Structure 1
Amino acid sequence: MTDGALSYARTVDRSLTHRAAVSECFLTDTRRTGERTFRVAAQPPRAHLYYSDHVTDARTVPSYDPLLVLEIFRQCCILASHEYLAAPADSSFVFDRGTLEVLDPEALRVGELPAAVTVEGEFTDVRERAGRPCGATVDVRASVDGRAAATMRLAFRWIPRRSMRQLRTRARAALALAPRRAHPLVNRLAPAEVGRELSANVVLGRVTVSSAPEVVAQVVVDRGHPALFDHYVDHIPGAVMFEALRQTATTAARELCGLDVAPQELELTGCDVTFLRFGEFELPTDCRARVADGADGRPVLDLALEQEGDVLATARVTLARKDRALRERGDRGTGDIVVTDARPRLLSAA
């Protein structure tokens, strides 16, 4: 299958996307289209240990995970930086902010054949050090089989890996990391509580709901997860943070907005995240969520990832009820969210 000059025959060199496993590299080709514009071809997997693990039934048409689209966008930024901005091969990439918007959830429905994803990208800002590019802001737009699906703006930078190791060594030396006190893996929620089938894909432990009202969730970091930890890193990766934000937002939407829906009936349609500092494996990580100002009962949550009072990232997550799920259940309503009086509770662990 081709899309103009783009090929979907094989993946690009996985090193250009900073993936260790070939199966975790989703990009298949790229072309420069202008001084600061480019196109990338991608083929998302129709079945994946992590991205496809969502509770479904025989009436539900599966969808490509919005976080899979986000990962394709992330890989596009790294690939384009290496290919078109001469980012050195030994660079470590640090993402500072990302704003994802799903334009059409129906465009993400999984079809009978592998999807052809085309990403249009533009470097809207390129930062330099000593006359060489060292960071950028990129606007990307993904179409699935020709249908506009999602957009994202990402701001990031890259530095030599040796410099990154030195920075991380100094930063970690300033922290009291012993004794280790991270949240244990055994406290994960039951998978159904977050719309998952597999316990391995649950990243939340004990969840409490306060009278603030606020949801506070323990973040479980499983370094043995083959997708979330595709390669060695010395800090909590962004993929784990995004999943923790989504699972916490879904939980908070049901607890704080009083949504009478199952977790799998809510899908992520927007996510605006700012990363502030690295997360350490040795420290307990918590995710806090409140209903955003002006949400008026809609599932829009403001969240913060924290380690012992230090904020790692802040985010605003927008959720929507799946229209297809409503139609297949035979609901006669318009698809609006129903707000009820929800009672705070302590969620169960698996």
Structure 2
Amino acid sequence: MDAEAEVVHPVGIEMVHRTRPEDAFPRNWVRLGRDRFAVEAVLPHDHPFFAPVGDDLHDPLLVAEAMRQAAMLAFHAGYGIPLGYHFLLTELDYVCHPEHLGVGGEPTEIGLEVFCSDLKWRAGLPAQGRVGWAVHRGDRLAATGVAATRFSTPKAYRRMRGDVPVEGISLPETAPVPASPAGRARVEDVVLSGTGREGVWELRVDTRHPTLFQRPNDHVPGMLLLEAARQAACLVAGPAGIVPVEARTRFHRYSEFGSPCWIGAVVQPGADEDTVTVRVTGHQDGETVFSTVLSGPRAHG
């Protein structure tokens, strides 16, 4: 193990399930122990989708995506889970420390320590487990996170999904809400449409989006659901919006193409005027798809 821990491995973008280099953030990895890995990554300062937020801060959802990619890398490279297996998050919590996430006009190098635990094995490979992260920027702790995940072989996944098409296609038929109140600069990144009901929006899915959909998918990705939650939180938080530096998310079932998914958001009471907490839920066909609680400072002022 000691000899292996000295080997620094480069990262191919396929190991983090990306097809575009600009959307793949880990750069190399090394094993620290049986279930511990160190991943070096770069947070871009000019990513068109994960743009800086608030007072020139790295987007917390960019940090969460770097965590997710580091976990996939650890399970593929560290445990030998083959490419093509499905990586299914059921829980994702994170806490960012915004004082250590300033952008400053150039890419930011970060170190992610990945901890894997509670692993359940099948046929010599992990079938499910928990993962934790500690994200450092230099010697400063920038974020932490924990998640629960399952893995599925391609054959088992297709059996579970039944007759759902392997590649779903969705083109929006409804108008997006205005970009700025939803916390976005570009209308093509808006994933909500108005419904005429206060605090409720329809999920707006466009499979042509280059970051949210990089390869064929048979359901709406969790990244898009988190983005929908952020946008809904910004809309109910008011003109100042919210920087979601904390999140506690549970994914209950897949969000399917071809059926409306309703996103509801409610501001939670709190004693701190400088912090906003919003509970967001997604429902489709009468069932809960996901639920999350986002907290953070107001994005503007």
State the TM-score, normalized to the length of structure 1. 0.77
CA contact (8 A) 1:140 1:153 kept: yes
Residue 143 of structure 2, aligned match among 147, 150, 154: 150
Distance 1:274 1:208 in 2: 27
Cα-to-partner distance string for 1:115-143 (whole Å, 9 max, x where unaligned): 11100111122112245321220110111
The amino acid across from 1:62 in the alignment is D
User: Structure 2 vs 1, CA of residues 157 and 244 (structure 1 numbering), >3 Å: closer, same or farther?
Assistant: same
Question: Does residue 1:273 correspond to 2:249, yes or no?
Answer: yes
Cα-to-partner distance string for 1:90-126 (whole Å, 9 max, x where unaligned): 3111111000111x21211112442111001111221
The amino acid across from 1:99 in the alignment is D
CA contact (8 A) 2:249 2:292 kept: yes
Q: Which residue of 1 aligns with 2:60?
A: 66
The amino acid across from 2:183 in the alignment is G
The amino acid across from 2:18 in the alignment is R
Q: Which residue of 2 aligns with 1:48?
A: 47
Question: Does residue 1:225 correspond to 2:213, yes or no?
Answer: no
Distance 2:174 2:125 in 1: 47
Distance 2:113 2:203 in 1: 34
**Aligned pairs, number:** 293
Q: Which residue of 1 aligns with 2:281?
A: 304
Q: Which residue of 2 aligns with 1:14?
A: 13
Distance 1:84 1:209 in 2: 47
The amino acid across from 1:271 in the alignment is A
Q: Secondary structure at the match of 2:104?
A: coil
Distance 2:227 2:72 in 1: 21
Distance 1:185 1:52 in 2: 26
Distance 1:112 1:303 in 2: 32
Task: For residue 167 of structure 1, report the CA deviation from its aligned partner.
Answer: 1.6
Distance 1:314 1:112 in 2: 34
Q: Secondary structure at the match of 1:299?
A: strand
Distance 1:106 1:72 in 2: 18
Question: Does residue 1:81 correspond to 2:75, yes or no?
Answer: yes
- Percent identical among aligned pairs is 27
CA contact (8 A) 2:131 2:146 kept: yes
Distance 1:251 1:145 in 2: 35
Task: For residue 285 of structure 1, report the CA deviation from its aligned partner.
Answer: 1.1
Greater Cα radius of gyration, structure 1 or 2 = 1
Q: Secondary structure at the match of 1:71?
A: helix
Residue 154 of structure 2, aligned match among 138, 146, 161: 161
Distance 2:171 2:284 in 1: 11
Q: Which residue of 2 aligns with 1:343?
A: none
Distance 2:183 2:126 in 1: 42
Distance 1:6 1:220 in 2: 44
Moved more, 313-322 or 73-82: 313-322
Within a 5 Å distance, the mapping from 1:1-350 to structure 2 comes to: 12-52=11-51, 61-102=55-96, 104-130=97-123, 132-170=125-163, 172=164, 184-210=172-198, 215-254=199-238, 261-263=239-241, 266-292=242-268, 295-296=270-271, 299-322=276-299, 326=301
User: Structure 2 vs 1, CA of residues 229 and 53 (structure 1 numbering), >3 Å: closer, same or farther?
Assistant: farther
User: Structure 2 vs 1, CA of residues 61 and 163 (structure 1 numbering), >3 Å: closer, same or farther?
Assistant: same
Structure 2 unpaired stretches of 5+: none
User: Structure 2 vs 1, CA of residues 12 and 130 (structure 1 numbering), >3 Å: closer, same or farther?
Assistant: closer
Cα-to-partner distance string for 1:17-54 (whole Å, 9 max, x where unaligned): 11111221111011111121111000111111101175
Q: Which residue of 2 aligns with 1:342?
A: none
Distance 2:7 2:185 in 1: 36
Task: For residue 237 of structure 1, report the CA deviation from its aligned partner.
Answer: 0.4
Task: For residue 320 of structure 1, report the CA deviation from its aligned partner.
Answer: 1.3
Task: For residue 238 of structure 1, report the CA deviation from its aligned partner.
Answer: 0.8
CA contact (8 A) 1:19 1:230 kept: yes
Moved more, 120-129 or 267-276: 120-129
Structure 1 unpaired stretches of 5+: 55-59, 255-260, 327-350
The amino acid across from 1:225 in the alignment is H
Task: For residue 80 of structure 1, report the CA deviation from its aligned partner.
Answer: 0.3
Distance 2:68 2:218 in 1: 19
